[in-house]
Chain A
Amino acid sequence: NAGVTQTPKFRILKIGQSMTLQCTQDMNHNYMYWYRQDPGMGLKLIYYSVGAGITDKGEVPNGYNVSRSTTEDFPLRLELAAPSQTSVYFCASSRRGIIGGDEAFFGQGTRLTVV
């Protein structure tokens, strides 16, 4: 059971570089989310998507972009990496957006360091 798969698991970027964090789910979930987790700060929502072709900003979207061309994939793009983006990134998905008793399934996370 693959569930939610994130790649890469670890990455070190130099300031100003760009990269894409990949997230794919094989559960045919409509809703997908990107979170970042900083030490002692809990999880903060970056972007989310309610279905293919539809995305919306979360709490901390600045410096990031997303796209959702298919139901399965929800990549997160960092265009000009900054040290403030050093964090652990989690992708999650849910079937019905958790309305009616569903829960979010999380990927294993990507640890990103910007130096």
Chain B
Amino acid sequence: EDKVVQSPLSLVVHEGDTVTLNCSYEVTNFRSLLWYKQEKKAPTFLFMLTSSGIEKKSGRLSSILDKKELSSILNITATQTGDSAIYLCAVLTGANSKLTFGKGITLSVRP
């Protein structure tokens, strides 16, 4: 059974802090790892990582995949209250593109 584990499950920080969110996986036939941000409604796509060691960056957010360690991190620098959300990690596997999601990390950014 494919497994995706995220940590910590919840996190409270103050504006301006830097946070690191972790995702580890145990799957067969790994294709890619994806990060999503979920606020009140549907998840929105952040990053897709396929190759190990290549950082993807979008503004204050960045992410990197380590295939040797079967893990990924999502970094958010200079956090803002608008970063408060659930961050979901998902791993794509198999020829039929099944996505297995972790439980999510609830990030709260206090003013």
Contacts and interface: CB of A to CB of B under 8 A. Distances in A.
Interface of A: 31, 33, 35, 40-45, 48, 50, 56, 58-59, 90, 94, 96-99, 101, 103-109
Contacts of A90: 42-43
13 contacts: A35-B101, A40-B9, A42-B103, A56-B96, A58-B98, A90-B43, A97-B96, A98-B34, A98-B97, A99-B31, A99-B97, A106-B42, A108-B42
Interface of B: 4, 6, 9, 31-32, 34, 41-45, 48, 50, 88, 90, 92, 96-104
Nearest to B32: A98
Contacts of A103: 34, 45, 48
Contacts of B4: 42
Given A43-B43, A98-B32, A98-B48, A104 B88 contact: no
A45 B42 contact: no
Contacts of A43: 43, 88, 90, 99, 101
A98 B99 CA distance: 9
Contacts of A104: 34, 45, 99
Given A50-B96, A97-B96, A98-B92, A42 B41 contact: no
B14 to A, nearest CB: 24
- A-B pairs with the 8 shortest C-beta distances? A97-B97, A106-B42, A42-B103, A43-B101, A103-B45, A42-B101, A98-B97, A98-B92
Contact of B98 (A40, A45, A106, A107): A45
